[in-house]
Amino acid sequence: MGAYGGLAGFAAVSYSPWNRRPTIEVARTTGAGHLPGADGTRRRTRERGAGHIWLEVASINAPANHSYRRMGFAFCGLDTALYHGTESEGEQAIYMSMPCP
């Protein structure tokens, strides 16, 4: 819950068995400063044998980029075309991953 009793954000996790990679999709309405459900996500992905957790974040979202780096995520890819034709045109998608010890 946010500071005013509303939803601060949520994370949805999908899992790709072929490469054992969970992907986190985050929607946030306020700057929560952490990844919702991160501890539970790490536990469940370890149980499935995943080596890394993977996420995508917009290049202009500096607060999220810094937060994810503090959590242990590292830059692993860039997509310059993901947002073409959307209201986020001109931004770039940064992919980050974090080992699942």
Q: What is the pLDDT of residues 17-60, one digit of tens each?
A: 766 666 766 655 455 445 655 666 667 777 777 778 888 888 99
List, in sequence order, every residue forming a beta bridge with 79; answer none if it has no partner: 93
pLDDT of residue 2: 45
Neighbours of 9 (CB within 10 A): 16
Per-residue model confidence (pLDDT) at position 29: 47
DSSP state of 20: T
Choice among 9-13, 23-27, 62-66, 67-71 with the minimum mean pLDDT = 9-13
Q: Are 36 and 8 in contact (CB under 8 A)?
A: yes
- Tell me the three-class secondary structure of 67-87, residue by residue: HHHHHCCEEEEEECCCCCCCC
Q: Where are the domains of the chain?
A: 9-99
| Topology of the domain covering 9-99 | Aminopeptidase (3.40.630)
